[in-house]
Every structure is written in structure tokens, then in C-alpha cells.
Structure 1
Amino acid sequence: MIIFRYLLKEVAKTQLAVFFVLMTIFISQKFVRVLGDASEGSIPGQMVMIFIALKVPDLGGMMLPLSFFLGILLAYGRIYADNEMTVLHACGVSEWYVVRVTLILALVTAIFTGIFTLYLAPMASEYQYQVKDKLAADSGLSSLVAGRFQKTGNEKAVVFIHDKHRDDNSFDKVFLAQLPDENHLDDSIINSSLVYAKKGQVFEEESGSQRLVLSQGIRYHKDANSGEFQAVTFDKYYIQIQDQEIEQKHRKLSALPTHQLFNPPDADSAPEYSATIQWRIAFPLACIILTLIAVPLSVVNPRQGKFAKMLPLMLFLGYFLLLTAMKSGVERQALPSNIGLWPIHISALFMGIILLMRERSSGRKIKAKFPGFRRNTASDNKVRDIKE
């Protein structure tokens, strides 16, 4: 039990450290990207942390298998480098026992990964679409930022506001230029009406349309007959800044709940639905399969140091690149959906079994049970005796 807890503790501790480092790196990249969108006015500044939080489930589902794979390599690599594993083997701890202990932690990691990929990530993606739809529907009100020229939601006017009051969504010192109609796009901007008002406020109607109400202002426009400019003062001035409610955008399959993917709407979309299901299952399944690969590859020579076996990281990258390629092939119907990603999983599992059986005492015991192996071994011994 002491050895059991020791092995689990070392791998889990290293896995968590790698996981938090990877999450910090990738979340920082997402933060910079979202912050850039906020600075351009695409999303409100107060929504930055919400968009970052919605990226966490998707990143967590991808980072857990990688952190577990690296955790095994680093933890067991240190144990081998410090000759601790040699002492454990001398005390009767076999390689298969180490694998069984690691598979327990792999099962726990696979459960958490499945929660991320099968439940939390689709839910976060759907909520992100809802937030974007709400921002698009409320673009006339939320996109108006003080000190910046911006188009209205229907792109029929350009608005500049000096100050914005968040408590009642009112504006101070509003400048507005109504753009020419679509049929008169060749007209100069000078032919458009220019409006300046001391106060302004946005009102939303039940139909989803929005109007900007300006007060205490003056409007400059060019008379179509005389060609002269006229200035008209007004107490109230209305302009439509959004014509109708924005329709709900098409959702990607990443936003659909997992149980809905089992019922595609038609035969044409069935391959894409099947590829999405297998992609979500691939991450939890990879935690189990990669354990069989990482444990034998974590063996290092004490003279080489614990980082000598970091090259197996290329196997992990190749594994997921192949999964990505197979998923794309299924979606394009270049591969049968019933085959899907399973050949990659089976190949990786077969590689893990070979690595475990190679030069392992427990593996040689399993091989010795086969008659063909015993005959080959006896013939090899005779050849060795003749050569000697």
C-alpha cells in the first residue's frame, strides 16, 4: 500500500503541475486574443473574463491527456534516474504492477476528461454562441463606445459620442452622420445629413429594433433642389440604428450536446455527427491508451538523467495529428464513418502492448505460454550451443 500511494502521488503531483503550466500558457494566448477583440470594440470590455472562462472546458479536455502523458514520463523518469525503480523491482514490484497502479490514475483522468469533452465543452460553446447572439442583437447599444466613430447596427449611420453613462445608457455630446442610401452609394458624404445633439439615448422596441433618440441638437443637411445647406434645430430627433432582431446564428457541432449527436437530422450530416462523437470520446480513451505507451517509455538510464526520454512527446503529437486527419477524412466522407478514428486507437494500443512486452520479465512469461514461442526458444538455444 505504501508503494501504491507513492507511485500515485508522484504521477498525480507531476500531472497537476504540468496541467496548470499548460493551461496558463494557452489561457494567456486566448486572453491576448480576446483582449484584442475587446480593444477593437467587437466585444464589451466587461465580457472579456466571461469569454476566457468559456474557453477553459475545451482547453481542459485537450490538456488533461497531454499533462497525464508528460506526468508519467517525468515522474517515472525521475524514479528510474534515482535508482528507486531498481530497488522496487528488487523488492518484488513488477512492471505490470506499475502499469496497473498507473491505470487507476488514468481511469480517474479519463473520467474528468470525459466530463470536459462530453458535457462541459459543448455547454460552454453553446453559451458562447448565446452571448454572441445577444451582443449582435444588442449591438446598437453595447457597441457604442465613448471617443470612437462607429457604425450603427444597420450600417446606415456613423455615431460619435463624447461621454456614456452606464447607469441609464444615455450619452452626452453626440455627433451623427447619416450615410447615403444603397441606391446612392456614389453620392458624396457631404450630401448626407449631419446631426449634433447635447443628449442621446437608445431605446429598444419589442420587435427587437432599436432607435437612437437625440435631444437639444441641430441638423445640417443639403437641400436637394437649391443645393444649399440648411440648419434645423430640434428638441427630439429619432434615428433607427437596428431594423430588426438578429436571427440566431448557425451552431457548429461543437455546441451540440453529446446525446443529440446520436440522432443526425439527415443522412448527409451523419458522417460529420459520427466524427464529432468519436472525437469527443478520443480524449478520454487516449488517457488509457497512452498509459501503456508512457510507462515503458519512461525507463531511463541513470546516467542519462530524467529528461532523456522526452522524445516520446513526438509520439503523442503524432497520435493526435493522426486523429485529427482521420476526423477530417470522416467529415469529408473520404473514410467510412463506422471505421472512423478506431484504427488509430487500435494501432496505439497495439504499440503500447508491444512496448510493455518487450524485454520485460512479465512479458516474457506471457510469451512463454505459447507453444510456438517455446519451440523457437529451444531452437535458438541449440543454435547458441552450436555456435559456442
Structure 2
Amino acid sequence: MSLFKRAAVSEFASNASVVFSTLIIIWLSIVLVRLLGEAANGTIGADVVLGLTGLTTIAALPTVLAAAVFIGVLTTVSRSYRESEMVVWFTSGLSLLSWIRPALRIAVPAAIVVGLLTIFASPWSHRQIQEYRARFELRSAISQVTTGEFLELEHGARVILVEANENDPEKLGQVFVRIKDDPWHSVVVSDHAKTEVAPNGDRFLVLEEGMRYDLTPGGLVTRLWDFDEFAVRLDSKDAEQTLRQSREHALLNHKGRPTGLLLTDGKSHSDGQLMWRLAIPIATINLALLAIPMGAVNPRAGRSFDMLVAGLIALLYFNLINLSHSWINNQTLPFGVGVWLVHLVFLSLTVFLFWHRVRVRAPKNPSD
């Protein structure tokens, strides 16, 4: 490999790795804040935040890697122009077209990795995210209760309020339960309670040494009970069945469906998801090539405007891919057209910019 190609490939890889690390850190910060907010609200468990963060990051890796390659090539080419290094390469007999092969040496392996991520890893991560959330739903409902806050079960048919037990951390403190079981409305109170799991997997809140008041709204009949133990069923979920249903639901979700099922499905939503999985690897190569003429800047001019335009073009590329995805889902655009249309448009833009940069302009007439 020539000195030029070694230097170009090395700087492409260095800049792309720095950009990739930066984007991943930003992404992790955003995802962690969002998931910690969900954990604080009780939507997910605090112990699954890190796992969900990793799985969500895997799903985002294809787009992040494609953007990192684009910015890595762009910054390398623009730096060579700003520091007049490009003049040295041009006087050595090279042209802007000579940057294509070094860019492809980075873009093609990156596109293969992106393809493996979109075809295999991303669908798997979406399925795992749903299973994580399903496993959280299988936990005892009382584990989702914040002391001093009301927990509603069965759409408000049962309402539970618990207090902390300062003497015995293994048990709950004072408990208030309201039960609607037509025609009766019941109120159950106890000074302490505990949770138990039946052999069949049903979960119960067992109140000890309390009182139960039964009444009929608008009626005159009231019943008063005292008890040694009173069990309130929290849930009766079959863990294996629930997880199996969750996995089946994940397969119905097109983001989590294996690529093999998408190929045999024949539905428009499956075609749209398949188009997206093929589009990101192709976009990785297209953006790397587009970055070369986009990085050809005037060293005397500021670089902010050119970088801004390049960023907007890359953002437009990804948005058009998502738009094509929606059009294929809605059967507005045929799959055979949608899978190539956006890439051909941006490839044409790349060819035009290369032609604009490398064409030999006629000398100006001195009399003008």
C-alpha cells in the first residue's frame, strides 16, 4: 500500500473511532436518563436499567456507526484542505478521485458490520428488550409499590396502600385494601402483612390480625369481620406462559422479527422493515463516498458552514430512508423502487460533486 493510502486509511479510522466513541457516550447519557426516569416511575425495575441500556445501544449501533464513518472521512478530507496537505498530494500526481479507494477500505468493512447488526443483532435486541419488560411485569405487584403510595390492580377493582415496617423489614407495616366485588365493597385493614407465593405461582398479600368491613352501596346490609389471616391475590400469572406470549408478540413486532421471517412474510410492513435493514449498510458506503467531495473546502474560508451543510445532508439521507420505510409500509411506494431510490439519488449527488470538484475549468479571459 502506498504512503498516501496508508496515511489516509489510518486517519479515516482514527477520526471515525473518535466520533464513534463520542456519539456512543452521548447516546448512553440520553438513554440512561430516560430509563432512570422510567425506573423512578415504577415502569421498569432499577436492576434492569443497565441491561436495557446495553440492548438499546445495540439497536442504535448501525446508525451511529454509519454516521461515524461519514464524519471520519469528512473531517480527514477537510483537514487536508485546510492545512494545505492536499496541495502536496495533488502535485504528486493524485486527484480527489484517489481518495475513493482508501475511503472504501474503511466503508466496506463498516458496512458489513452494520449489515450484520441490522440483520441479526438489532432484531435480537428488540426481542430481548420486550422480554426484559415482560419479566418485570411477572414480579410480585407489591415489589412495584412505593411506601405510602396507592397500587391499583385490575383497573381499580382492588386498591392497596402499604406502610413500611420499621421493626421487621421482612414484613410490611400497616395495610389498607379496598376490594370491589359486586355487590359488595370491602375495606380490609391490618397492622402488618407479608407476601407469599403459592405452589402454582400465584402471588398473595397476606394480612395478619386485622378487620374487614363489607357493605353494599345504597343498601342497609353491613358485615364486620375480624381475622387472623386474610389473603389478597396480587396476580396469578403463569411465568412460562407469559414469557412465551411476550416472545410471540416480539415476533409479531416487525422491528424484532428475524430477517428470515420478513423474507417469507410478504406483507408491506415486513417489506418496509427489510428495506430499512438493507438501507443502512448501503448508506454507510454512500455517505463515505459523499464525504470526499463535501470535504473539499477552501482553506481560506471558514469550515463551519461546510460542516453544517454536510451534517444536514447526512440527516436528510437518514430521514429519507425512514420516509421510504413509511411509504413502503403504507404501500405508497413499491418495495423494488423504495429499496434503491434514495441511494440512487445520493449516489447521483456524489457523482455530480466529484465532477464539479475535479473538472478542469477554462482559464478566464484577461480582458474580462
TM-score, normalised to structure 2, is 0.86
Of 286, 291, 296, the residue aligned with 1:289 is 286
Question: Residue 319 of structure 1 aligns with which residue?
Answer: 317
User: Between Structure 1 and Structure 2, how many residues are aligned?
Assistant: 354
1:276 counterpart = 2:277: no
Shift of 1:52: 1.1
1:230 counterpart = 2:227: no
Question: Residue 209 of structure 1 aligns with which residue?
Answer: 202
Question: Residue 5 of structure 1 aligns with which residue?
Answer: 6
* Matching residue's letter, 1:276: Q
**Which is worse superposed, 114-123 or 137-146?**
137-146
Q: Deviations over 1:281-322 (max 9, x none)?
A: 111111111122110110111111444421122211111211
Shift of 1:12: 1.6
- Match of 2:264, SS state, is coil
Question: Residue 368 of structure 1 aligns with which residue?
Answer: none
Of 316, 320, 328, the residue aligned with 2:326 is 328
- Match of 1:193, SS state, is strand
* Matching residue's letter, 1:355: L
1:113 counterpart = 2:106: no
- Match of 1:92, SS state, is coil
* Matching residue's letter, 2:61: G
Shift of 1:197: 3.8
From the superposition, tell whether residues 108 and 203 of structure 1 become closer, same or farther in structure 2 (CA, over 3 Å). Answer: same
8 Å contact from structure 1 (residues 140, 153) kept in 2: no
From the superposition, tell whether residues 329 and 223 of structure 1 become closer, same or farther in structure 2 (CA, over 3 Å). Answer: closer
* Matching residue's letter, 2:120: Y
Q: Deviations over 1:149-194 (max 9, x none)?
A: 22246753222333489xxx9432141312323x56xx9xxx5312
Q: Deviations over 1:185-236 (max 9, x none)?
A: xx9xxx5312214231131543x53222233x2123145586567351x332
* Matching residue's letter, 2:194: G
* Matching residue's letter, 1:356: F
Question: Residue 347 of structure 1 aligns with which residue?
Answer: 345
**Which is worse superposed, 192-201 or 105-114?**
192-201
* Matching residue's letter, 1:238: A
From the superposition, tell whether residues 127 and 153 of structure 1 become closer, same or farther in structure 2 (CA, over 3 Å). Answer: farther
* Matching residue's letter, 1:59: A
* CA RMSD between the two structures: 3.0
- Match of 2:149, SS state, is coil
8 Å contact from structure 1 (residues 177, 193) kept in 2: yes
8 Å contact from structure 1 (residues 219, 231) kept in 2: yes
**Which is worse superposed, 70-79 or 22-31?**
22-31
Question: Residue 367 of structure 1 aligns with which residue?
Answer: none
Question: Residue 173 of structure 1 aligns with which residue?
Answer: 173
1:41 counterpart = 2:34: no
1:241 counterpart = 2:242: no
Question: Residue 134 of structure 2 aligns with which residue?
Answer: 133
* Matching residue's letter, 2:125: A
8 Å contact from structure 1 (residues 159, 174) kept in 2: no
Shift of 1:79: 1.2
TM-score, normalised to structure 1, is 0.82
Shift of 1:147: 4.1
1-structure distance, mates of 2:49, 2:77: 40
8 Å contact from structure 1 (residues 153, 242) kept in 2: no
2-structure distance, mates of 1:135, 1:36: 16
2-structure distance, mates of 1:204, 1:282: 51
Identity %: 24
2-structure distance, mates of 1:48, 1:287: 30
2-structure distance, mates of 1:105, 1:195: 68
Question: Residue 221 of structure 1 aligns with which residue?
Answer: 213
Shift of 1:256: 1.2
8 Å contact from structure 2 (residues 140, 234) kept in 1: no
- Match of 1:309, SS state, is helix
2-structure distance, mates of 1:154, 1:209: 19
Larger radius of gyration: 1
8 Å contact from structure 2 (residues 15, 76) kept in 1: yes
Shift of 1:359: 3.9
From the superposition, tell whether residues 205 and 12 of structure 1 become closer, same or farther in structure 2 (CA, over 3 Å). Answer: same
Shift of 1:275: 1.2
* Matching residue's letter, 1:277: L
1-structure distance, mates of 2:19, 2:172: 51
2-structure distance, mates of 1:6, 1:79: 11
**Which ranges of structure 2 fall in alignment gaps of 5 or more residues?**
none
Q: Deviations over 1:229-251 (max 9, x none)?
A: 7351x332211111444742433
Shift of 1:145: 3.6
Of 174, 186, 194, the residue aligned with 1:192 is 186
Q: How does 1:361-372 map to 2 (within 5 A)?
A: none
* Matching residue's letter, 2:74: L
From the superposition, tell whether residues 209 and 333 of structure 1 become closer, same or farther in structure 2 (CA, over 3 Å). Answer: farther
